[in-house]
Every structure is written in C-alpha cells, then in structure tokens.
C-alpha cells in the first residue's frame, strides 16, 4: 500500500541543509529498510548487510570528526537521523540512537585522546557500540549496581551480569558500568570500554520482545573479565557522572525515535483513511476520522518542537536536563497514543500483521520504559520546576 509521507513533515525550524539531510536519510530508510521491516520483525534480527549500509551512509558516527572517519555533524544531525529512520523502522532507529547519542557522546566527552584515536575510526566505519548500565536490580534505581570491578597489576577485572542491553548482538565494543564497592553508592562506580574479545566477556540470553524486535536486547556476562588500564573511561569513581549526563542526551534520542514512530504511524493511517471506503465514500471524508487525524498531527507537531528544542539547547551548550525529561515523557505518550489511534483507523485490519498499524503500536510501548521510565521523567521534571531535591 503506498504511503503518503509528505505530511506531517519536519519542516519547522530546519535549515535547507538539515532538511536535505533528513530527506536523504528518510529516502534511504524507505528504499533500503522498508522492504525488510516485516522480515526483521518476524526473525528478530537485522537484515544481512543492513548494519554495513548504515556505516556506509555515515550514520553510525555522526558527531565523530571527519579526520577520524566520522561525518563531523552535530547532535541535532544525529537526532534527525534517528527520527527519519524511525518513521520506517524504530528498531533500526534505536541502533543508530544508542551508537550516536550514548556511546559516541560518552567517549567523545570523557575519552582520552588515545581512546579517540583508537576507537573513533572504528566506531565510524565498522564497529557497533553498546551501552551497558542496567542490571536485574538496577533499572530506575540505576546506580544500585552489583557488577564489581577490582584493580589488577595489568588493568581491571570485572564480574557481573548486565540485562536489557541494546545493540548487544551486533556490538564489538561495550561501555560497561561497575562498582568497586556497593557501600560507596554512586561514588564507587566507574565506566570501562570492554571489547567483545576481552577474556571473560560473553553475550548471553537474547530477549524475545513485544516490540522493536529487530533490535537485539541481550544479557551480558562478565566472568573475571580482564581489561587493560587504558580502557578505563573517564576517572575512576566518576562513572555515575558519565551515566547521568549521557542518559540526558539519550533521552532526546529516544524522543526522536518515538517522534519518527508517530510520524510513520500517522502517514499510514492518513493513507489508509483515503483508500478505505465505507457507506460509499472514503473514511477520510467523515468528520470523526478527520478530527482524529488532525488531533494526531497536532500532537506530533508539539512533540517535534520539544525534541528539536532539547537538541538545539544541547548543541548550544545550554542547560537541557528539564527539556530532555519533558521531551522523553511527552513524546512517549504521543507515540503510544498516535500508534493506538492508527490501529483504530485501520479497524480490523489494524489488528492483524498484514498491515503496519499493529507493529507501530507494539513498538511504541517501550518508549515509556527504557532510558528512564515516565515516572522517573516526572520526578526529574518536578525537581527542576519546583527547585526541590
């Protein structure tokens, strides 16, 4: 079924160069990712060669300087890429999101010049990176880590398990958080660059998920995992700072993913409403359907402005903690609501897998959960606007 992707479009607040970039990425998503969306959803992995094509497009190292193999773009460019891809397949959107907004940003800000020189050319051209913070007992309570590390004569030894780690199946580099003493709380946490080939490291169980099924979500096992001294990211005991600040950026990325999802669901719903006939005319001619689509479009525009504003603030070097939390909270609500309304516009066809509506709905649910639940975003917002701890 042809889909009208002409509206709603992210024309607001975009320069001609940004609009061209967005359109280029979206065309790539529609032509290269679109034909394999259902197959990837069913088989729960990316199509062969797709990750390589993302690297070839320069989408896996957007903020990495050109001299180190990257695209030399901005954080806002990364946000646009995640949004554009997610209109077609949010599961690929999260791959690009984690790579850019979490991993690249963490290494760019806290990595040493030597780490930049070693890793950025690889991350930009052929190495998927993953961000490993969550554990069985540390979800919203992010720093209740049980993974332990200890110093050795040659570096560090890490023991523990990580759960719900995105990009784990494809990644060859992992940013792993562990503590040297749980009694220290957040002060004991450090971040490490762990290679897939590190002794004692392995990828465990892959989750069978409700949505974004093409994206891998796995357990990581660190059993006396040995890494060298030079793989410490940032200062020892400052891992909490890396995690907090990077996740603030990541929440804008998730906002972009969910914005793209909502845009894709809207486009399919609008196209279907123009084709589906009842009582002798297209259902798009009925005021009730028109109002539903109008309301969806309005919420998407509001979500877009929140995502773009947060990303612009970040690039300008201004405070964006409040805006990132609001963005993540609001856009996750919009995405789920728009995807649900998309199912309803499709009617019975929205409930079967022959049509795209049900997949957008399944994919939308994770938005209120990962990279900080809605309740955690509300807690952050409340602290910011009320000035309380």
Give the start-to-end residue ranges of the domains of the chain. Answer: 16-127, 130-237, 241-386
Determine the Cα–Cα distance for residues 86 and 26; give it in Å rounded to an integer: 9
Output the pLDDT for position 373.
96
User: Residues near 229 by Cβ (< 8 Å), separated by ≥ 6?
Assistant: 154, 155, 156
CB 260 within 8 A of CB 84: yes
DSSP 3-state of 185: helix
What φ, ψ does residue 266 adopt, rounded to 5°? -60, -45
Q: Dig out the tokens for 190 from the structure.
A: 């450090």
86 token code pair? 């997610």
Q: By three-state DSSP, how is residue 132 classified?
A: strand
Q: What local confidence, expressed as pLDDT, does residue 7 receive?
A: 44
> Among candidates 199, 205, 101, which has minimal Cα distance to 162?
205
User: How far apart are alpha carbons 204 and 221 in whole angstroms?
Assistant: 6
CATH of domain 16-127: 1.10.540.10
Closest among 78, 68, 76 to 111, alpha carbons compared = 68
Catalytic residue list = 371
Encoded tokens for 208: 């069978």
The reported pLDDT for the residue numbered 141 is: 87
CA atoms of 193 and 131, how far apart (whole Å): 10
Give CA–CA dist 62/216, Å, rounded: 22
Domain 241-386 in the same topology as domain 16-127: no
Question: Which pLDDT belongs to residue 11?
Answer: 47
Q: How many residues in the chain?
A: 389
Report the pLDDT value the prediction gives residue 62, as an integer from 0 to 100: 98
pLDDT of residue 353: 96
Q: Span 130-237: which CATH code?
A: 2.40.110.10
**Secondary structure (3-state) at 4:** coil
Instruction: State residue 6's pLDDT score.
Output: 46
Q: Are 112 and 52 in contact (CB under 8 A)?
A: no
Q: Residue 270's closest CA among 252, 247, 246, 297?
A: 297
Give the separation between CA 98 and CA 51, rounded to whole angstroms: 13
Phi, psi of 149 (to 5 degrees): -130, 155
Strand 277-278 relative to strand 189-195, pairing: unpaired
Tokens describing residue 344: 């309803």
d(CA 289, CA 273): 8
Say if CB 347 and CB 340 are below 8 A apart. Answer: no
**3 state DSSP class of 320:** coil
d(CA 141, CA 133): 11
12-28 pLDDT, tens digit per residue, is: 579 999 999 999 999 99
| Chain-centre distance for alpha carbon 132 | 14
Paired sense of beta strands 173-179 and 129-132, if any: parallel
Contact in structure between 112 and 123 (CB atoms under 8 Å): no
R_g (Cα) of the chain, nearest Å: 21
Is it true that domain 241-386 has CATH number 1.20.140.10? yes
3-state secondary structure of 94: helix
Question: Can you tell me whether residue 22 is helix, strand or coil?
Answer: helix
Please give the model's pTM, rounded to 2 decimal places: 0.95
What is the reported pLDDT for 12? 59
Write out residues in the chain with pLDDT < 70, as ranges: 1-12
């Amino acid at each position: 079924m042809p889909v009208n992707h002409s509206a709603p479009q992210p024309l607001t607040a975009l320069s001609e160069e940004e609009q061209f970039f967005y359109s280029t990425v979206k065309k790539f998503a529609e032509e290269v990712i679109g034909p394999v969306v259902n197959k990837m959803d069913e088989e729960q992995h990316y199509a062969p060669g797709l990750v390589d094509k993302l690297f070839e497009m320069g989408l896996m190292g957007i903020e990495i300087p050109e001299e180190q193999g990257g695209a030399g773009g901005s954080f806002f460019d990364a946000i646009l890429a995640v949004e554009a891809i997610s209109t077609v397949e949010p599961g690929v959107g999260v791959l690009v999101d984690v790579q850019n907004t979490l991993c690249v940003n963490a290494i760019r800000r806290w990595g040493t010049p030597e780490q930049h020189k070693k890793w950025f050319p690889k991350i930009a051209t052929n190495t998927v990176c993953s961000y490993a913070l969550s554990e069985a007992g540390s979800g919203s309570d992010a720093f209740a880590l049980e993974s332990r590390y200890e110093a050795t004569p040659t570096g560090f030894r890490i023991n523990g398990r990580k759960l719900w780690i995105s990009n784990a199946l494809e990644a060859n580099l992992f940013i792993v958080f562990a503590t040297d003493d749980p009694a220290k709380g957040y002060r004991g946490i450090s971040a490490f660059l762990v290679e897939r080939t590190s002794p004692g490291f392995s990828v465990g169980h892959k989750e069978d998920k409700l949505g974004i099924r093409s994206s891998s979500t796995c357990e990581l096992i660190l059993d006396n995992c040995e890494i060298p001294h030079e793989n410490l990211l940032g200062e020892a005991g400052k891992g909490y700072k890396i995690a907090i600040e990077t996740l603030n950026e990541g929440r804008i990325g998730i906002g972009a993913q969910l914005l793209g999802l909502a845009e894709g669901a809207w486009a399919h719903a609008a196209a279907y409403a123009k084709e589906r006939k009842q009582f002798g005319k297209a259902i798009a001619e009925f005021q009730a359907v028109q109002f539903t689509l109008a309301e969806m479009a309005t919420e998407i525009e509001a979500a877009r402005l929140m995502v773009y504003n947060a990303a612009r603030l970040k690039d300008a070097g201004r405070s964006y903690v409040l805006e990132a939390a609001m963005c993540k909270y609001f856009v996750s609500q919009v995405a789920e609501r728009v995807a649900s309304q998309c199912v309803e516009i499709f009617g019975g066809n929205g409930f079967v897998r022959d049509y795209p509506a049900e997949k957008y709905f399944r994919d939308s649910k994770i938005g209120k959960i990962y990279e900080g639940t809605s309740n955690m975003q509300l807690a952050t917002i409340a602290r910011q606007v009320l000035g309380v701890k």
